Amino acid sequence: MHRFAAFSRRLAAPTILALLLAGCAAAPASMLAADTANAAAMAGVVGADFNGVVLLQSSATATPQIRAFGTANVERGAATTIDTRFQIGSISKWLTSVAVLRLVDRGVLQLDVPIAAWLPQMTASGSTVTLRHLMSNTSGIPNDLSPALKSDPASVMQPMPMAQASMRFVGRAPAFTPGSQFDYVPTNWVIVGAILEKVTGKPFAAVLDDEVLRTAGAASTGVPQAAFDSMPGAARAYGASLPRTPKMSPHVNYVAASGTIYSTAADLARLAHAVYETGLLSPAARAELSRINVPDESYALGGRVLSIALGGTNRMVASESGVSGGYKSLLLYVIGEGKTVVILNNTDMQQSTQAEMAKALLARMYQ
């Protein structure tokens, strides 16, 4: 936390404080002091060169404080707003896991049943690999997608159903005993998506919308149907160096469950609240989402759960992060308390820097 102490000394922001005071005259003094200090902290922590959106929420019932920084689209000269949409990379895996657990709650799916129950065509792995293995990235199924992308990119970029992609890119037998090693590859999630499509009879985007997004009220979150930066309100991603040059990942429809979902800072906070504090999931399903399956990686299902010292006590924090081209996304949510930090960036900042910023802002809420 030594870096947090340094950040705290940089929080003088008279203009921000004046604006917040003007808009919050009726607020209790204690609440006003906390809100203005947190808003000033956002600017102090992220620095003058940050591009993106930062959200702080002190409890599940508190109004989120959201600030936008920099430029969403350099070519158009469009400034970032609090409603700007960003691709969220591997946070997609966490949302996909929530959709799976909704179906587990209804008895449609089971985490520890071999996947051949739903995809009998997966003959090389279907009898030994389970949904839990896939969702904890421990299936051992080789990733044939990356080599194919290098050798025949035009073919790989063609749209195809997730079941077809599963057979084409993840059809071989596991390289190690499922559950014994961690192998963070997107192809696990191609299979998860194929299973969701098989048991529901709907495209993955519709499954996600029906099972998670509409229930949580996340109207600005979804799966792009074409190049993401062509969508209204979307940030474009860039490299870290100046002048800014685009750094966009290609659009591949069948990897949506792994990493192409988009969202806003407010929606991610809304989704975390719905997942951990409402009846969206049963208590048993929430416990599964927080259960560590790979201790060395702090990896549960579709994301990490960290024990972080906050306010003199170790607290369990859902840590969902993602990278897609120049998009860098991070959601920290203190389970059972609702304290939330979201940082969305579109200029390829270092993930370690983003994590330090988020932890500093989260720690501030316990001062």
- 2-40 pLDDT, tens per residue? 333 333 333 332 222 222 222 233 333 444 445 566 667
pLDDT tens-digit map of 294-341:
999 999 999 999 999 999 999 999 999 999 999 999 999 999 999 999
**Bond into 250 cis (ω within 30):** no
Beta-ladder partners of 317: 306, 334
Query: What pLDDT, on the 0 to 100 scale, is given for residue 153?
Result: 87
- pLDDT top residue among 37 and 354: 354
Residue 106: which residues within 8 A CB-CB, separation 6 or more? none
pLDDT tens-digit map of 149-173:
888 888 889 999 999 999 888 888 9
CA gap 240, 219 in Å, rounded: 30
Query: What pLDDT, on the 0 to 100 scale, is given for residue 148?
Result: 87
Q: How confident is the model at residue 107 (pLDDT cuts 50, 70, 90)?
A: very high
Q: Cα–chain-centroid distance for residue 101?
A: 16
Topology classification of domain 49-367: Beta-lactamase (3.40.710)
**271, 277 in Cβ contact below 8 A?**
no
Q: How confident is the model at residue 255 (pLDDT cuts 50, 70, 90)?
A: very high
**261, 92 in Cβ contact below 8 A?**
yes
Helix, strand, or coil (residue 332): strand
Q: 130-134, 153-157, 174-178, 276-280: which has the minimum mean pLDDT?
A: 153-157
Q: 124-128, 264-268, 350-354: which has the minimum mean pLDDT?
A: 124-128
**148, 170 in Cβ contact below 8 A?**
no
Query: What pLDDT, on the 0 to 100 scale, is given for residue 22?
Result: 26
Q: How confident is the model at residue 221 (pLDDT cuts 50, 70, 90)?
A: very high
Query: What pLDDT, on the 0 to 100 scale, is given for residue 155?
Result: 85
Task: Name which of 241, 252, 93, 112 is nearest 179 in CA terms.
Answer: 112
- Label residues 164-202 b or e (16+ Cβ within 10 Å = b): ebbbbbbbeebeeebbeeebebbbbbbbbbbbbbbbbee
Query: What pLDDT, on the 0 to 100 scale, is given for residue 24?
Result: 31
Residue 188: which residues within 8 A CB-CB, separation 6 or more? 133, 134, 135, 137, 139, 141, 170, 258
Other CB atoms within a 10 A radius of the CB of residue 331 amount to 27
Query: What pLDDT, on the 0 to 100 scale, is given for residue 31?
Result: 42
Give mean pLDDT, residues 235-257. 96
Rg of the chain in Å (alpha carbons): 21
Query: What pLDDT, on the 0 to 100 scale, is given for residue 38?
Result: 66
pLDDT tens-digit map of 53-104:
999 999 989 999 999 999 999 999 999 999 999 999 999 999 999 999 999 9
10 Å CB burial of residue 2 (0-12, 13-18, 19+) is exposed
Q: Over 70: is that where the pLDDT of 174 sits?
A: yes
Longest Cα–Cα distance in the chain: 66
Tokens representing 131 are 């949904």
Model confidence, pTM:
0.89
Q: 117-121, 144-148, 158-162, 347-351: which has the minimum mean pLDDT?
A: 144-148
